[in-house]
Amino acid sequence: MARWLLNILIISSRHLISLSSQQETSLCFCKGSSEWIITADKHFNESNWSCFYKKPVELSSSKPLSFSTHFVCALVPKKGHEGGHGIAFLVSPSRDFSHAEATSYLGAFNASALESSPSSHVLAVELDTIWNPEFNDVINNHVGIDVNSPVSVGVASASYYSDMKGKNESINLLSGKPIQVWVDYEGTVINVAIAPLKVQKPSRSLLSQHINLTEVFRNSSRLFVGFSAATGAAVSDQYIVGWSFSTDRGSLQRLDISRLVEVPHSSAPHKKLPIILLVCLSFVVLSLLA
Ligand SMILES: *[C@@H]1O[C@H](CO)[C@@H](O)[C@H](O)[C@H]1NC(C)=O
Ligand SMILES: *[C@@H]1O[C@H](CO)[C@@H](O)[C@H](O)[C@H]1NC(C)=O
Ligand SMILES: *[C@@H]1O[C@H](CO)[C@@H](O)[C@H](O)[C@H]1NC(C)=O
Ligand SMILES: *[C@@H]1O[C@H](CO)[C@@H](O)[C@H](O)[C@H]1NC(C)=O
Ligand SMILES: *[C@@H]1O[C@H](CO)[C@@H](O)[C@H](O)[C@H]1NC(C)=O
Ligand SMILES: *[C@@H]1O[C@H](CO)[C@@H](O)[C@H](O)[C@H]1NC(C)=O
């Protein structure tokens, strides 16, 4: 069983944070280096980024793949820019996404993934803020499930079922506020739910899709789990502030919402930075059983 929980902060916009001196707690493999790579920089119109947990999930033929994850992210638009493009939770046998493209490919895919037999195998759950009808997007503000291609197999406008009110409530992904995301895969069904920070996991999923991941990852013996994000002419600072993952749903560690870092506001003065750095460098793995 693989199980881990971490409170992390991906910082964007011109600040590189090196974790190389933190061997013990250097948890992520990031594109090109062991550093957290910036998602957006005002000097570059397009940027892509991906980051994976260093330990893979080992697959075995005796036990079919299942997993549960809960993370908290925030997409903060840059002042004077349209916000975009979004962030994706990834499951893939490879953690080399150097061939992935920015903008609507979310740093997870490239144009050749649109071909009928894509060379990469990846499951992505995307929080996407730009409307690309060619990718099956229903609206700019949406959540999608993608298998090997940015053309979503399941998509819904960003909302959650409010158990208190007994109805769906929409969520603006670009509000800059933290958003909780749950992804559960068991049997051959993947369920995705989102909710604002203070709301419990909704009893009804936003997306429920039949996908046989054993089929998708048939030739793989291990899978990496992580995130990607991209910007284009539309720019946001995109953060993950907490993440818990388990291959056994019952063992998923609770994310302590009260201990999450406060998401910096895009207009926040830079003097807030030391606080962010402190949190970044002191994140801990509370549990890691492999
Ligand atoms: C970024 O986009 C703006 C507006 O679309 C354009 O004027 C500028 O040349 C672009 N810069 C780069 C480096 O591509
Ligand atoms: C995506 O990332 C790779 C590796 O860092 C880089 O070579 C490539 O230029 C990036 N693409 C875009 C569109 O930013
Ligand atoms: C697209 O990604 C695949 C792997 O996923 C890679 O083999 C291919 O070279 C990439 N294509 C381009 C045009 O970068
Ligand atoms: C609420 O959202 C779910 C998931 O998108 C959908 O299946 C359901 O029809 C919606 N319910 C209402 C009352 O709109
Ligand atoms: C999923 O795919 C695997 C590999 O092709 C197959 O052995 C298994 O029976 C499939 N599961 C279901 C429920 O269809
Ligand atoms: C697995 O490998 C076989 C043989 O190389 C290939 O035919 C098949 O398409 C692969 N399956 C997947 C899901 O990649």
pLDDT tens across 210-225, in order?
A: 999 999 999 999 998 8
Task: Tell me how far apart the alpha carbons of residues 90 and 94 are, in angstroms, rounded to a whole number.
Answer: 10
The residue whose CB lies within 8 Å of the most ligand 3 atoms, and thus the one to mutate among 31, 115, 120, is: 120
pLDDT recorded at residue 14: 26
- Let me know: does 284 contact 4? Beta carbons within 8 Å: no
List, for residues 105-132, the tens digit of each pLDDT value. 988 998 888 876 677 899 999 999 998 8
pLDDT bin (cut points 50, 70, 90) of residue 41 is very low
Q: What is the pLDDT of residue 239?
A: 78
The predicted pLDDT at position 259 comes to 67
Could you tell me the maximum CA-CA distance found in the chain, to the nearest angstrom?
A: 53
Name the one residue in this structure whose structure tokens are 């870092």.
261
CA distance 149 to 88: 13
The pLDDT score that the predictor gives to residue 261 is 63
* 81-108: burial string, b at 16+ Cβ within 10 Å, e else: ebbbbbbbbbbbbebebeebbbbbbbbb
What pLDDT score was predicted for residue 125?
98
Atom of ligand 2 nearest to the CA of 46: 14
Regarding pTM above 0.85, the answer is no
Q: Which residues of 207-223 are buried (b: 16+ CB within 10 A; e: fewer)?
A: bebebebeebbeebeeb
Ligand 4, residue 157: give the atom nearest the CA.
5
Least confident range from 22-31, 46-55, 133-142, 169-178: namely: 22-31
Question: Among 41-45, 51-55, 68-72, 207-211, whose mean pLDDT is lowest?
Answer: 41-45
Q: Which ligand is nearest to the CA of 94?
A: 3
* pLDDT at residue 22 is higher than 50: no
Give yes or no for residue 288 having a pLDDT over 50. no
Band the pLDDT of 235: cuts 50, 70, 90: confident
Query: Regarding predicted confidence, which is higher, 210 or 240?
Result: 210
Cβ atoms within 10 A of the Cβ of 47, count?
Answer: 21
Query: What was the pLDDT predicted at 46?
Result: 64
195 CA to centre of ligand 4 in angstroms: 14
Q: Please tell me the distance from the alpha carbon of residue 205 to that of residue 197, in angstroms, as a whole number.
A: 16
For the CA of 45, the closest atom of ligand 1 is: 1
Mutate to test the pocket of ligand 4, among 152, 161, 168, 170 (most ligand atoms within 8 A of CB): 168
- Mean of pLDDT over the chain: 75
CA dihedral sign, ordered 26, 37, 71, 204: negative
> For ligand 1, which residues put their CB under 6 angstroms from it?
45, 233
Ligand closest to 51 (CA) is 2
Of 76-85, 150-159, 166-175, the range with the lowest mean pLDDT is: 76-85
